[in-house]
């Protein structure tokens, strides 16, 4: 049985033709035609998440795990607004969410009708395209709607992928069902095109590389890509280029440099011209490191090329000279035959500095009192290889990037907008479709902010949650400015004394806690034991003042 609404039948038919079968539904009444139709068709895999904000972040995690679009369904009114934070995150991470919002007929807009707000183009700044379907079901209106839906769905998955929004006005009755098959709707496809660089242009780019003595390659946030990693390793061997990356780039090679924040601190008093690149090549998503951005803005390369299939002109370092609309794997792979061998002086400069910095870091942390910095070292040593790590925003992602990455492990974080609001929900969505162990590490404020992520029946036993309970917004004590404000304690740090234990027990999670180094070491053994066959939460209590002091002392040590 499916809804008798013909626009919904068309929409469902086109979603199936495009291979979009994962649907995350938040309950409501106005969206009943969509719910009844998607649930009534066996080919759709429907999940129900009550909280719309959590549901949308859950969909992000699901889309990341499955590497394909996920559709979101909600009722009308403020339900649609609750999707907005995750849609913005998906937009800046290039994740193709298919956002389907039910709406009241337009003649009720601004007429004191319940659950009725201005929904048309409500996400216009964070979607690739948005449309509102016609209310009528005439032959021409159905043809027009089908053409628009085709275009919207195609745009979501071509070029630079991104969310799209289809707003659907629906009149009562909403619950009339029919025993019918979905209609046969014409699918409008898009031919696959392989972007490539003209041979003469590739020759010119190779000549520039061969003439450059100091090449810096920045790899931003991206999914794991072993082929690209191998190609970049060959580029490094031939040219002596420096590959800078963070854990979220999911690259792992001893020839690359990954200790960015500590490296930036260590070279501030050096001869900066030695580290300043002639040629900068960037691709992928954003970097966490603010120090890296400041370094390159002050020490600009002569040329900056940005690789982007969508042709975005990201001038992050205020030195952009060329946008290259090609995939990074194809770009560097095509260059290999044209570039010549060069000396390794620039690479050795960076690698020797990184080796020294890492030695100082390890020496400092080994003798460190219990703190966030120490806790992250202990946690990193115990997380099993070949697993997945999700990092909460603010201080957790920064602490994790200071330490060595866990080998053979994929890293994820909501760094599109870098908000704390959906970190746990995203991890829950990812873990629900992952056959690996998933660990999310987040702060206490982030945990409580997104605790509705636990109100979710798709949480599997492969999810492990680590809450770093440092009593508030520890990040504001680490950065300059807020910590010096008279309003720091109440309005920046926002001290928190609530414990995660009560929520863990309320949602049936196994609970562990640690208040010192010994307790944490012991808890981690049990926490990651093969015998632990249930969703588990580990709450690690640290002292905010100690955290701030040890964090600053580390960078003082590195600078000296």
* Cα–Cα distance measured from residue 37 to residue 8, given in angstroms and rounded to the nearest whole number: 7
In a domain, 188, yes or no: no
Residues 148 and 208 in one domain: no
pLDDT confidence of residue 159: 83
In a domain, 412, yes or no: yes
CATH code where residue 324 lies? 3.40.50.1220
The last residue of one of the domains, among 319, 353, 387, is 353
pLDDT confidence of residue 195: 76
Residues 205 and 331 in one domain: yes
Q: How many domains does the chain have?
A: 3
Helices (H), 212-341: 226-239, 260-266, 272-275, 290-298, 328-335
Look at strands 177-178 and 2-3 and give their pairing: antiparallel
CB 68 within 8 A of CB 393: no
Q: Tell me how crowded residue 174 is: count the other CB atoms within 10 A of its CB.
A: 19
Q: Which are the contacts of 378, defined by CB distance < 8 A and separation ≥ 6?
A: 517, 520, 521, 524
Q: Quick one: CA dihedral 88, 90, 91, 97, positive or negative?
A: negative
Residues 410 and 524 in one domain: yes
The last residue of one of the domains, among 353, 383, 411, is 353
In a domain, 114, yes or no: yes
Q: Tell me how crowded residue 251 is: count the other CB atoms within 10 A of its CB.
A: 22
pTM of the full structure: 0.95
Please give the residue range of the domain that contains residue 543: 368-559
477 burial via Cβ count (<10 Å: 0-12, 13-18, 19+):
buried
The last residue of one of the domains, among 305, 327, 353, is 353
130 burial via Cβ count (<10 Å: 0-12, 13-18, 19+):
buried
* C-alpha of 526 from chain center: 29
Residues 136 and 216 in one domain: no
In a domain, 165, yes or no: yes
346 burial via Cβ count (<10 Å: 0-12, 13-18, 19+):
buried
Residues 455 and 338 in one domain: no
Residues 72 and 114 in one domain: yes
pLDDT confidence of residue 504: 95
Residues 297 and 387 in one domain: no
* Cα–Cα distance measured from residue 409 to residue 437, given in angstroms and rounded to the nearest whole number: 10
Residues 21 and 162 in one domain: yes
Residues 389 and 341 in one domain: no
pLDDT in tens, the chain (560 residues): 999 999 999 999 999 999 999 999 999 999 999 999 999 999 999 999 999 999 999 999 999 999 999 999 999 999 999 999 999 999 999 999 999 999 998 877 878 788 888 999 999 999 999 999 999 999 999 999 999 999 999 999 988 899 999 999 999 999 999 999 999 999 999 887 777 888 889 999 999 999 999 999 999 999 999 999 999 999 999 999 999 999 999 998 999 999 899 999 998 766 889 999 999 999 999 999 999 999 999 999 999 999 998 889 999 999 999 999 999 999 999 999 999 888 999 999 999 999 999 999 999 999 999 999 999 999 999 999 999 999 999 899 999 999 999 999 999 999 999 999 999 999 999 999 999 999 999 999 999 999 999 999 999 999 999 999 998 776 776 767 676 677 766 767 677 788 999 999 999 999 999 999 999 999 999 999 999 889 999 999 999 999 999 999 999 998 87
pLDDT confidence of residue 485: 75
25: tokens are 């539904």
In a domain, 386, yes or no: yes
Lookup result for tokens 């495009």: 18
Instruction: Quote the DSSP letter at residue 516.
Output: S
Residues 122 and 268 in one domain: no
């Amino acid at each position: 049985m499916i809804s008798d609404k013909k626009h919904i039948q068309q929409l469902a038919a086109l979603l199936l033709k495009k291979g979009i079968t994962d649907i995350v539904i938040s309950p409501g009444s106005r969206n009943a035609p969509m719910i009844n139709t998607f649930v009534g068709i066996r080919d759709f895999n429907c999940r129900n998440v009550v909280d719309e904000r959590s549901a949308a972040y859950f969909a992000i995690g699901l889309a990341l795990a499955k590497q394909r679009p996920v559709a979101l369904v909600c009722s009308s009114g403020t339900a649609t607004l609750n999707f907005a934070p995750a849609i913005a995150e998906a937009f800046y991470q290039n994740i193709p969410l298919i956002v389907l919002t039910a709406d009241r007929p337009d003649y009720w807009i601004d007429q004191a009708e319940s659950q009725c707000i201005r929904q048309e183009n409500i996400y216009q700044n964070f979607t690739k395209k948005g449309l509102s379907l016609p209310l009528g079901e005439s032959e021409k209106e159905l043809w027009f709607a089908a053409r628009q839906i085709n275009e919207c769905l195609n745009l979501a998955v071509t070029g630079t992928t991104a969310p799209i929004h289809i707003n659907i006005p629906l009149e009562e009755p909403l619950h009339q069902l029919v025993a019918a098959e979905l209609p046969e709707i014409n699918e409008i496809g898009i031919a696959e095109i392989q972007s490539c660089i003209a041979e003469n242009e590739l020759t010119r780019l190779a000549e520039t590389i061969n003439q450059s003595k100091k090449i810096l390659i920045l790899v931003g946030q991206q999914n794991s890509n072993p082929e690209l990693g191998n190609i970049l390793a060959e580029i490094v061997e031939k040219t002596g280029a420096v590959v800078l990356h963070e854990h979220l780039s999911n690259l792992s090679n001893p020839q690359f440099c990954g200790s960015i924040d500590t490296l930036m601190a260590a070279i501030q008093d050096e001869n900066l011209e030695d580290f300043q690149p002639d040629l900068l090549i960037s691709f992928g998503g954003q970097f966490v490191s603010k120090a890296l951005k400041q370094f390159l803005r002050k020490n600009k390369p002569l040329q900056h090329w940005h690789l982007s299939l969508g042709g975005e002109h990201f001038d992050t370092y205020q030195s952009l000279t060329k946008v290259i609309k090609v995939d990074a794997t194809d770009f560097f792979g095509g260059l290999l035959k044209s570039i010549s061998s060069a000396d390794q002086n620039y690479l050795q400069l960076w690698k020797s500095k990184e080796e020294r910095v890492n030695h100082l870091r390890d020496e400092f942390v080994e003798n460190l009192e219990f703190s966030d910095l120490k806790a992250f070292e202990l946690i990193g040593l115990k997380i099993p290889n070949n697993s997945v790590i999700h990092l909460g925003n603010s201080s957790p992602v920064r602490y994790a990037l200071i330490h060595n990455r866990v080998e053979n492990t994929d890293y994820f974080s909501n760094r599109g907008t870098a908000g704390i609001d959906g970190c746990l929900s995203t991890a829950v969505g990812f873990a629900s479709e992952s056959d690996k162990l998933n660990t999310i590490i987040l702060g206490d404020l982030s945990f409580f902010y997104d605790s509705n992520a636990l109100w979710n029946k798709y949480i599997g036993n492969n999810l492990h949650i680590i809450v770093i309970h440092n009593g508030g917004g520890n990040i504001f004590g680490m950065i300059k400015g807020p910590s010096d404000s008279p309003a720091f304690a109440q309005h920046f740090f926002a001290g928190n004394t609530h414990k995660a234990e009560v929520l863990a027990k309320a949602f049936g999670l196994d609970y562990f806690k640690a208040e010192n180094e010994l307790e944490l070491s012991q808890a981690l053994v049990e926490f990651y034991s093969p015998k632990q066959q249930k969703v588990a939460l580990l709450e690690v209590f640290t002292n905010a003042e100690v955290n701030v002091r040890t964090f600053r002392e580390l960078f003082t040590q590195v600078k000296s």
